[in-house]
Amino acid sequence: MQTSIKVEGMTCGHCEKAVKGALKEIDGVQEVHVNLETGNVDISADEKVSEQEMAEAIEEQGYDVVS
Ligand SMILES: [Cu+2]
């Protein structure tokens, strides 16, 4: 499954690392690509991983999930 989540508040490489790390800790997440300019986070994951679970992992790092 491929999904894209729009995130607000990521400004630098540290933010990118924090979001990537949090998502990759979820069992079933394979690939995470962060675009700092657009705030888009593209994720490849197993079907069992819910969008909600991924959004929560991002929010726990202190960033806002827009969609
Ligand atoms: Cu940062």
CATH number, domain of 36, equals 3.30.70.100
Q: Rounded to the nearest whole angstrom, what is the distance from the C-alpha of residue 10 to the centroid of ligand 1?
A: 6
Q: Rounded to the nearest whole angstrom, what is the distance from the C-alpha of residue 12 to the centroid of ligand 1?
A: 4
The whole-number pLDDT of residue 25 equals 98
Ion ligand 1 nearby residues (CB, 5 A) = 11-12, 14-15
Q: Rounded to the nearest whole angstrom, what is the distance from the C-alpha of residue 18 to the centroid of ligand 1?
A: 8
Phi, psi (degrees; rounded to nearest 5) at 8? -110, 145
The whole-number pLDDT of residue 67 equals 76
Domain count, the chain: 1
Residue 24 pLDDT > 90: yes
Owning domain of residue 25:
2-66
Task: Spell out the alpha helix ranges (H) of 1-67.
Answer: 13-24, 51-60
Q: Could you give the strand order of the β-sheet that contains 64-65, starting from the edge strand earlier in sequence?
A: 29-35, 40-45, 2-8, 64-65
pLDDT tens readout for residues 34-64? 999 999 999 999 999 999 999 999 999 999 9
